[in-house]
């Protein structure tokens, strides 16, 4: 019996959100809505999304000893996330500056802050009591790459590692080989594989990414659904769920969290991805990131 269903290693940010009629071009100033502050960060988002669905979830992260850090810890705790491995101090809490247009699309700039101080030593300190007692561990790249690499080294035999490489960058072969799955959108796929290595459609993108060494790949396509691919297996198109999008902030994190959780329950990759697509669909119908994440009952109702 595992102590957790999912452990997330990653970032925790305060999201500073402004609505705009359109995002500014270079050198341009546009007026926006009143500033809204929400708890966010890919790691914290994924942990909250999984916990809201009913998963026993822990987060390994670092925040500042400041009001934004306390906002994040309160949101995590109130959602049922175990925060015993969330360290405080060393730098201000990370901040994401987000603009959202009327269609719900967003642009994001992140100041890592304390996220950049989440070290391999931090991972080693919680390996026995947090990382190893979980069937699935999920990570992203808003924390140092060397910390993510150390997490993989520390995992217990049989633990499944899920990586959303955002923001994308070139990845070492050993890290790619551990991914099961590697979850990317089109932009992330192009950065990791290189434009010249990708084919004409998402199925070809998935195959090209598999050739780099991951055990499995998921390519998310927003309103067009997703594609899953497994080494030696089939490439499967996962249909989207049609909803009226209000705000896409954090929807990818909800998808990743739901997918990782369901894989830990023993579901196949296409089935888990189909469930994750429904979770993401509910999330985009609401404003904000963590505040938009549904319960399992709300997903079933959709």
pLDDT digit of tens for each residue in the chain (302 aa)?
Answer: 689 999 999 999 998 989 999 988 889 999 999 999 989 999 999 999 999 999 999 999 999 999 999 999 999 999 999 999 999 998 999 998 989 888 878 788 889 999 999 999 999 999 999 999 999 999 999 999 999 999 999 999 999 999 999 999 999 999 999 999 999 998 999 999 886 667 778 899 899 999 999 999 999 988 888 999 998 888 999 988 888 888 777 889 999 999 999 999 999 999 999 999 999 998 988 877 888 898 999 999 87
pLDDT (tens digit, 9 = 90+) per residue, 178-190? 999 999 998 999 9
Spell out the domain ranges in the chain. Answer: 6-301
Residues 76/48, Cβ–Cβ less than 8 Å: yes
Q: Is the dihedral of CA 189, 194, 200, 204 positive or negative?
A: negative
Tell me the C-alpha distance between 118 and 113, whole Å. 10
Which pairing describes strands 216-220 and 36-40: parallel, antiparallel, or unpaired?
Answer: unpaired
How much is the pLDDT for 225? Answer: 87
Catalytic residue flag (residue 234): no
Distance CA 283, CA 290 (A): 9
Class of domain 6-301: alpha beta
- Asked if residue 237 lies in contact with residue 203, where contact means CB atoms within 8 angstroms, the answer is yes
The SS3 of residue 29 is coil
Q: In this predicted structure, what is the pLDDT of residue 195?
A: 67
Active-site residue (options: 5, 82, 247, 253)? 253
């Amino acid at each position: 019996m595992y102590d957790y269903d999912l452990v997330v290693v990653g970032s925790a940010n305060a999201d500073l959100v402004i609505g705009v009629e359109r995002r500014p071009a270079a050198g341009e100033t546009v007026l926006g809505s009143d500033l809204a502050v929400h708890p966010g960060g890919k790691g914290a988002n994924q942990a909250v999304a999984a916990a809201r669905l009913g998963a026993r979830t822990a987060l390994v992260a670092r925040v500042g000893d400041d009001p934004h850090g306390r906002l994040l810890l309160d949101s995590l705790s109130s959602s049922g996330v175990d925060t015993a491995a969330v360290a405080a101090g060393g730098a201000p809490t990370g901040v994401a500056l987000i603009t959202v247009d009327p269609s719900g699309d967003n642009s994001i700039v992140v100041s890592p802050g304390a996220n950049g101080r989440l070290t391999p030593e931090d991972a080693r300190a919680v390996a026995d009591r947090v990382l190893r007692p979980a069937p699935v561990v999920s990570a992203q790249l808003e924390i140092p790459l060397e910390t993510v690499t150390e997490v993989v080294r520390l995992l217990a035999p049989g633990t499944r590692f899920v990586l959303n490489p955002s923001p994308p960058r070139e990845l070492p072969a050993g890290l790619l080989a551990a991914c099961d799955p590697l979850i990317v959108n089109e932009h992330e796929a192009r950065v990791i594989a290189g434009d010249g290595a990708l084919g004409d459609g998402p199925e070809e993108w998935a195959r090209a990414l598999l050739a780099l060494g991951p055990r499995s790949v998921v390519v998310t396509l927003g309103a067009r659904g997703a594609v899953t691919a497994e080494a030696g297996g089939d490439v499967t198109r996962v249909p989207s769920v049609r909803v009226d999008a209000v705000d896409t902030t954090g929807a990818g994190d909800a998808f990743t969290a739901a997918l990782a959780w369901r894989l830990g329950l023993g579901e196949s990759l296409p089935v888990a991805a189909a469930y994750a697509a429904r979770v993401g669909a509910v999330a985009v119908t609401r404003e904000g990131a963590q505040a938009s994440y549904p319960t399992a009952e709300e997903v079933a109702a959709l």
